[in-house]
Amino acid sequence: MRKNIVAGNWKMNTTVQEGVALAKEVNDALAAGKNNCDVVICVPFTHLVPVAGAIDSKVLGLGAENCAQYDKGAYTGEVSASMVASTGAGYVILGHSERRQYYGENNDTLKAKTRLALDNGLTPIFCVGEVLEERENGSYNDVVQSQVEALFDLAAEDFSKIIVAYEPVWAIGTGKTATAEQAQDMHAHIRSVIAGKYGNEIADNTSILYGGSCKPSNARELFAKPDVDGGLIGGAALKADSFMGIVEAFN
Applying CB under 6 A, which residues contact ligand 13P? 9, 96, 167, 172-173, 211-214, 232-236
CB of 48 or CB of 219, closer to ligand 13P: 219
Min dist. Cβ of residue 111 to ligand 13P (A): 20
**Minimal CB distance residue for ligand 13P:** 234
Q: How far apart are alpha carbons 121 and 132 in whole angstroms?
A: 34
Residue with smaller CB distance to ligand 13P, 101 or 200: 101
Residue with Cβ nearer ligand 13P (166 or 250) = 166
- Other CB atoms within 10 Å distance of the CB of residue 213: 21
User: Is 238 within 8 Å of 232 (Cβ atoms)?
Assistant: no
DSSP class per residue in 197-239: HH-HHHHHH--EEEESS--HHHHHHHHTSTT--EEEESGGGSS
* Beta strand 208-211 pairing with 163-166: parallel
Nearer to ligand 13P among residue 9 and residue 87 (C-beta): 9
Cα angle value 162/138/101 (rounded, 5°): 55
Residue 93 to residues 98, 135, 157, Cα–Cα distance (Å): 11, 23, 19
Told to judge if 96 belongs to the known catalytic residues of this protein, a careful annotator would answer: yes
User: Active site residue: 65, 98, 130, 167, which one?
Assistant: 167
Nearest distance in Å: CB 59, ligand 13P: 22
Q: How far is the CB of 200 from ligand 13P (least distance, A)?
A: 28
Residue 236 CB, nearest approach to ligand 13P (Å): 6
167 in catalytic set:
yes
**Nearest alpha carbon to residue 229 among 2, 60, 62:** 2
| Residues noted as catalytic | 96, 167
